[in-house]
Amino acid sequence: MKKLSTILLTVLLIMTSAQFALAQCDISGNIVASANVDPMGPTYMYTLTINWDTGTPYALSHMDLLLDTAGGTCSCADFQDAMIWDDPIGYSDGDPVCTVNYSGNLECSGDPSIPGVDGILLKFEPIEGMGCEPGTMGTATFVFYSDLAPAPIDEDILSLVDKFAGNSCFGSLSGDFPSMSCDPVEVQKVEWGSAKGLYR
């Protein structure tokens, strides 16, 4: 009986330690809109800066910008019309000291590697074969473009998630997003974003 109690206590401590480790993970980001300096390109440039910390010995696998929850009012075609980006879409710190480049992929059916992530998202995938990989923590910068004026995002819709080993960490996002008339920004915010666009 004593041996069984010791085993149960050990299992409980392991589970508590794992939960504590995962509780330390963090991901957050901010999007800043500015005029695009390329006169031949879309009107606005959107720069997304993400800070992450897996809180574990496991390095980052990839990150997702969650654009629309399953059953939302935006379609994948709405985002295809609203956003464009270069390849690579951005970069981050790497391990060892190096720079990791990322490809950007619009996924219309979620991220099957992360339970519960079923909506539309923009996946930031490290480009392999460069001899540089993301570490357990770092800062990433991604850039996309749009002809739609910026408006404050709806933080209940837009958010972030990262994947590391078999784990994931969800986090918040602030700033501006193209003024789409569906989920990412509210109607009154779209009107304000369009008004700001007239005076840039």
DSSP structure class, residue 177: E
pTM for this model (two decimals): 0.81
- Domains, the chain, with CATH or none: 26-198 (2.60.40)
pLDDT of residue 44: 97
176 within 8 A of 196, measured Cβ to Cβ: no
Helices (runs of H) and strands (runs of E) counted in the chain? 3, 10
Amino acid (one-letter) located at 142: F
pLDDT of residue 155: 83
Residue 127, burial from CB neighbour count under 10 angstroms (0-12, 13-18, 19+): middle
pLDDT of residue 74: 87
pLDDT of residue 58: 95
- pLDDT per residue, tens digit, the chain (200 aa), is 444 343 333 333 333 344 444 458 999 999 999 999 998 999 999 999 999 999 999 999 999 999 986 667 889 999 999 999 999 999 999 988 899 999 999 999 999 999 989 889 999 999 987 789 999 999 999 999 999 999 998 888 899 999 999 899 999 999 999 998 887 775 555 444 444 444 34
pLDDT of residue 129: 78
Distances (CA, A) of 131 to 19, 46, 52, 63, 64: 32, 28, 21, 19, 22
